[in-house]
């Protein structure tokens, strides 16, 4: 089969690899029908995740059809149409029993990271019973690819941890696919104001069409002054960090209202200053989370009932065999006005 293979920082190739086989009784082999590229794949290619070794097939998102199941798989059979979760979970360890699949002692984020991933014609999924979700008949496959990672990430790490309530003022710092996924799912809770902050006017304009009540380009505006002006100098009830830099986390610290919450989503590579000299008395909560994908069944229902339209996040489509060009488009997101790209295995 053909797959997108990592060959060390800056190096990748679309090349021949052996078709995966069942290694454990709980495994399933899935023929990938659609997959996508994540910002995290770009982090891997930059060399930010040294645990990814040469020869690894990348990708942790996708939908497909089951080709073969191991003798221990009870929920799925050959021919079933499935959504692949970016998080692999055994369902049996202490963390899984708490619903913290991201910390599964036998899985977690391993696809396209510690084991071969979904940017390939076929993929092996360990613990298939717990790590795959049945796709209802008549579903739009492209929309569901957005449920492998970015929608549960925005919802769980941003909206649920941020404890958003009706009437709240919410600020989302970062209007990339993950910040936009938080913007789409925060609307389940009817906040009064959703203020999006980014440096890219194109992404802020998209945010307006997705339901942002205000947008701020922090390149040319003082975002703290602006948010304080809009909130009677109080700040926001929930501030969601969806970038992953010291500057944007510190911006969140300046924007949170007394009693409010900072819900971090961003992956941080550098330490951040925590301004306890001002925050110690402000009754705030700071949360962090690696996406668990425990809300995937709920999000699937909201897509089925058309409360959520993930297709809005897709800007480009390619054949899977054209993945090198798709990476180029995704890597130049500003120039190409790209959000998510869909790759189809024809």
Ligand X SMILES: NC(=O)c1ccc[n+]([C@@H]2O[C@H](COP(=O)([O-])OP(=O)(O)OC[C@H]3O[C@@H](n4cnc5c(N)ncnc54)[C@H](O)[C@@H]3O)[C@@H](O)[C@H]2O)c1
Residues interacting with ligand X, by CB under 6 A? 39-40, 149, 153, 157, 173-179, 197-200, 203, 218, 242-245, 247-248, 265-267, 289-291
State which of residues 65, 93, 279, 286 lies at the interface with Zn ion (CB under 5 A): 93
**x-or-dash pattern for Zn ion, window 101-130, by CB under 5 A?**
---x--------------------------
Q: With binding defined as CB under 5 A, does residue 42 bind Zn ion?
A: no
Q: Which stretch binds Zn ion (CB under 5 A): 94-102, 181-189, 239-247, 275-283?
A: 94-102
Binding partner of residue 126 among ligand X, Zn ion, none, CB cut-off 5 to 8 Å per kind? none
Binding partner of residue 104 among Zn ion, ligand X, none, CB cut-off 5 to 8 Å per kind? Zn ion
State which of residues 66, 69, 96, 341 lies at the interface with Zn ion (CB under 5 A): 96
| Minimum CB distance to ligand X smaller for 64 or for 244 | 244
Q: What is the nearest approach in angstroms of ligand X to the Cβ of residue 42?
A: 8
Give the CA distances from residue 41 to residues 60, 69, 284, 328, in Å, rounded to whole numbers and listed in that order.
9, 28, 33, 12
Q: Which of 58, 184, 165, 171 is nearest to 109 (CA)?
A: 58
Q: What is the nearest approach in angstroms of ligand X to the Cβ of residue 225?
A: 15
C-alpha 303/C-alpha 120 separation (Å) is 26
Q: With binding defined as CB under 5 A, does residue 156 bind Zn ion?
A: no
C-alpha 83/C-alpha 276 separation (Å) is 43
Residues numbered 261 to 290 that lie near Zn ion (CB under 5 A) are none
C-alpha 18/C-alpha 305 separation (Å) is 40
State which of residues 3, 28, 29, 38 lies at the interface with Zn ion (CB under 5 A): 38
Q: Residues 215, 195: contact at Cβ < 8 Å?
A: yes
Q: Residues 55, 6: contact at Cβ < 8 Å?
A: yes
C-alpha 149/C-alpha 131 separation (Å) is 12
Binding partner of residue 96 among ligand X, Zn ion, none, CB cut-off 5 to 8 Å per kind? Zn ion
Q: What is the nearest approach in angstroms of ligand X to the Cβ of residue 75?
A: 25
Q: SS3 string of 113-140?
A: CCECCCCECEEEECCHHHHEEECCCCCC
Residue 10 CB burial class (10 angstroms; 0-12, 13-18, ≥19): exposed
Q: Give the residue nearest to ligand X (CB).
A: 176
Q: Which stretch binds Zn ion (CB under 5 A): 86-94, 137-145, 270-278, 305-313?
A: 86-94
C-alpha 313/C-alpha 327 separation (Å) is 17
| Minimum CB distance to Zn ion smaller for 148 or for 345 | 148
Only one residue has tokens 């997108």, namely 4
| Minimum CB distance to ligand X smaller for 20 or for 62 | 62
C-alpha 302/C-alpha 145 separation (Å) is 14
Q: In Å, how far from its chain's centre is CA 243?
A: 12
Q: Residues 162, 151: contact at Cβ < 8 Å?
A: no
**x-or-dash pattern for Zn ion, window 132-151, by CB under 5 A?**
-----------------x--
Binding partner of residue 70 among Zn ion, ligand X, none, CB cut-off 5 to 8 Å per kind? none
Residues that bind Zn ion (CB under 5 A): 38, 40, 89-90, 93, 96, 104, 149
């Amino acid at each position: 089969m053909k797959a997108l293979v990592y060959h060390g920082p800056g190096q990748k190739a679309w090349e021949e690899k052996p078709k995966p086989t069942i290694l454990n009784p709980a495994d399933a082999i899935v023929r990938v029908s659609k997959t996508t590229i994540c910002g995290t794949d770009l982090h891997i290619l930059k060399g930010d995740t040294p645990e990814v070794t040469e020869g690894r097939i990348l990708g942790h998102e996708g939908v497909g059809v089951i080709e073969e199941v191991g003798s221990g798989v009870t929920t799925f059979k050959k021919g079933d149409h499935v959504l692949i979760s970016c998080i692999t979970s055994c369902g049996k360890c202490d963390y899984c029993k708490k619903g913290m699949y991201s910390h599964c002692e036998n899985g977690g984020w391993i696809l396209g990271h510690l084991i071969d991933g979904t940017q390939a014609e076929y993929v092996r999924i360990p613990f298939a019973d717990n790590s795959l979700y049945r796709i209802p008949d008549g579903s739009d496959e492209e929309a569901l690819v957005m449920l492998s990672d970015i929608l549960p990430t925005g919802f769980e790490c941003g909206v649920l941890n941020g404890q958003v309530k009706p009437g709240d003022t919410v600020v989302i710092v970062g209007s990339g696919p993950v910040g936009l996924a938080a913007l789409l799912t925060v609307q389940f809770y009817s906040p009064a104001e959703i203020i999006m902050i980014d440096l890219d006017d194109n992404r802020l304009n998209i945010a307006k069409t997705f339901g942002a009540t205000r947008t701020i380009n922090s390149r040319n505006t003082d975002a703290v002054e602006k948010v304080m002006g809009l909130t009677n100098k109080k700040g926001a009830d929930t501030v969601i960090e969806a970038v992953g830099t010291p500057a944007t986390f510190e911006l969140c610290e300046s924007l949170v209202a007394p009693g409010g919450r900072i819900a971090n989503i961003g992956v941080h590579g550098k330490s951040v200053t925590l301004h306890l000299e001002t925050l110690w008395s402000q009754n705030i909560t700071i949360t962090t989370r690696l996406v668990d994908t425990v809300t995937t069944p709920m999000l699937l229902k909201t897509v089925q009932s058309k409360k959520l339209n993930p297709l809005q996040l897709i800007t480009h489509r390619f054949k899977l065999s054209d993945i090198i060009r798709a990476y180029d488009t995704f890597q130049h997101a500003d120039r190409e006005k790209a959000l998510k790209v869909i790759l189809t295995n024809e």
